[in-house]
Structure 1
Amino acid sequence: MAWIALLLAGCCEVSGVIGLKQVSLRKGVPAYLLLIASFAGSFSLLTFAMQHVAMGTAYAIWTGIGTVGGALVGMFLYGEPKEARRILFIAMILSAAVGLKLIS
């Protein structure tokens, strides 16, 4: 259950990044609500996950999901560059998160 909470926390982190972008584009109430709700959910789920998963592992996986998710959202929703080097480094972050799960 803790690993599912950790994955959901990472997904909420990505939603929070989308909320940040929306706030920077148009400062409406829905954008702020998405931002606040996403980060509140992310931190709550991370707190729960850290009760059962080692702190360093949980934090690394949470930030990895947020980083990879944020980069992918930027590329596919906001037209950021899709360079091969960028995709390579995203894959490296993802493989490191999977490696941490495998040894935990």
Structure 2
Amino acid sequence: MAWISLVVAGLFEMAGVAMMNQYSHDRRWRSLLLLIVAFAASFYFLSYSMQTLPMGTSYAIWTGIGASGGAIIGMLFYDESNDWKRILFIAVILSSAVGLKLSS
């Protein structure tokens, strides 16, 4: 259950990053509210997973999901560069997260 909670925390982290970008573009209260809710949920699920999983592993996977997911969302929805090198390094981040899961 802790691993599922950690993945959910990472997904909320991605949503928070997307809402941060959205809020910087439109300055609407709805975007700000969704940003706050997404990060609050992310921290809640992260803290729940850290009751079972080691802190270093949890934090590394959480930030890996958030960083790579944020980059992917930027490429898909905000016309950010989708250069092959960028995709390669996102794959490295994700494979590192999988490696941490396999080793713990």
Gaps of 5+ in 2: none
Aligned residues: 104
Partner residue in 1 for 2:71 = 71
Kindly state the Cα deviation for residue 20 of structure 1 after the two structures are TM-superposed.
0.2
Gaps of 5+ in 1: none
Give the CA RMSD over aligned residues: 0.5
Residue 40 (structure 1) aligned with residue 40 (structure 2): yes
CA–CA separation in structure 2 for the residues paired with 1:30 and 1:93: 31
Kindly state the Cα deviation for residue 45 of structure 1 after the two structures are TM-superposed.
0.5
Residue 18 (structure 1) aligned with residue 18 (structure 2): yes
Residue 83 (structure 1) aligned with residue 83 (structure 2): yes
Kindly state the Cα deviation for residue 96 of structure 1 after the two structures are TM-superposed.
0.2
What amino acid maps onto 2:85 in structure 1? R
List per-residue Cα deviations over 1:21-49 (Å, max 9, x = no partner): 11100111110111000000000100000
Kindly state the Cα deviation for residue 12 of structure 1 after the two structures are TM-superposed.
0.2
Report sequence identity in percent: 55
Q: TM-score, normalised by structure 2?
A: 0.99
Residue 54 (structure 1) aligned with residue 65 (structure 2): no
CA–CA separation in structure 1 for the residues paired with 2:55 and 2:94: 18
CA–CA separation in structure 2 for the residues paired with 1:59 and 1:9: 10
Q: TM-score, normalised by structure 1?
A: 0.99
